[in-house]
Amino acid sequence: MTGRLLRIGLPALLVAVWFATGFYTVEPEELAVVKRFGAVTERAVPSGFHWRLPVPIESHEKFRTTTVYKMGVGMITRDFLRGIPSPEELSLWLTGDTNILSVKIMIQYTVVDLAHYLYRLTGAQFLMAKIAEAALTDILGGMNVDDALTVNRPLIASEIRRRTQARLDELDTGISIVSVNLLSVDPPSQVIDVFRDVSNAAADRERIINEANGYANSVIPRARGEASWIVERGQAERDARIAEAKGESARFLSVLGEYRKNPDATRRRLYLETLETVLPRVDRYIIDVDGEGERFDLKILDLDGQ
């Protein structure tokens, strides 16, 4: 009886244990894919406690889909994250004007379709890096070195993201690019000092031009204001002198009319008015001619300055 129970119970126990191996747990930050004889049956099993048919009928694979992963271009990603410099030849690209630049890019991505990421292509992460390298080669080949170092730096990162994501979507890799960070765009280390000198010279040129324009913008309006003031003052003086001349002319014509009517009286009046104007400005000597003593001449003007 015992032997019969063992013959029945032991296989049943083994079957139960075998079925128990189908239980698995998916963590909150994970998704799981279930395969049956190698074909995907469940593409995105959420977090929680689940069961599938035991191996070799079914199997599962879990992956952290909420984690943001990193892939470097122009460097060895593992070494970069550890602070170890990568060989410079990995980061050298040719620009459209046949100059060489050292460019390093960090791509951050997440997995949005786990089944496609794991099974559609082999090495989806490596493929993404090669697509980004091809995009970078094409972008830099369409611009000169000065634009790449200055105004087109933001364009490089945005274009790499756009082109790489478009190609990844065409291939159904299940990858979504979060960001593309342009870590560095520099001349090669052998010539970087010369490039910096040229860049500094260009910056100095722009600064001097701006200073000259600022000085011109401050001086020219002031000079125009002074010129306007001089012109206005000249016009005022001209108008005053014209008015004065007209007044003098009118007065002369008036005197001429009176003179023609009564020449003697007019002549006497003019003589007296002239004396009233002249005498206050000269030294005068008053002599008592009826008194005793030496006789003096009346001096109206002291011509000798004595």
pLDDT value for 16: 72
Confidence of residue 38 (pLDDT cuts 50, 70, 90): low
Confidence of residue 108 (pLDDT cuts 50, 70, 90): very high
pLDDT at residue 256 above 60?
Answer: yes
* Token pair recorded at residue 67: 């984690």
Rank 25-29, 130-134, 286-290 by mean pLDDT and report only the highest: 130-134
pLDDT value for 81: 74
pLDDT at residue 304 above 70?
Answer: no
pLDDT value for 293: 52
* Token pair recorded at residue 51: 């069961």
| Structure confidence by residue, pLDDT tens digits, 110-163 | 888 878 787 777 788 888 889 999 999 999 988 888 888 888 888 899 999 999
Confidence of residue 166 (pLDDT cuts 50, 70, 90): very high
Question: How far is 97 from 240, CA to CA, in rounded Å?
Answer: 71
Rg over alpha carbons for the chain, rounded to the nearest Å, is: 53
What is the three-class DSSP state of 101? strand
pLDDT at residue 301 above 50?
Answer: no
* pTM of the shown model: 0.55
Of 149-153, 182-186, 257-261, least confident by mean pLDDT is 257-261
Which domains does the chain show, CATH number per domain?
2-64 (no CATH), 69-190 (3.30.479.30)
pLDDT at residue 252 above 50?
Answer: yes
44: alpha, beta or left, given left = phi > 0 and alpha = psi -120 to 50? beta
Report percent pLDDT > 90 for the chain.
Answer: 9
Q: Closest Cα partner for 34 from 57, 53, 60?
A: 60
CB-based burial of residue 91 (10 Å sphere; 0-12 exposed, 13-18 middle, 19+ buried)? buried
Beta bridge partners of 175: 111
CA end-to-end span of the chain: 171
| Structure confidence by residue, pLDDT tens digits, 206-225 | 888 888 888 888 888 888 88
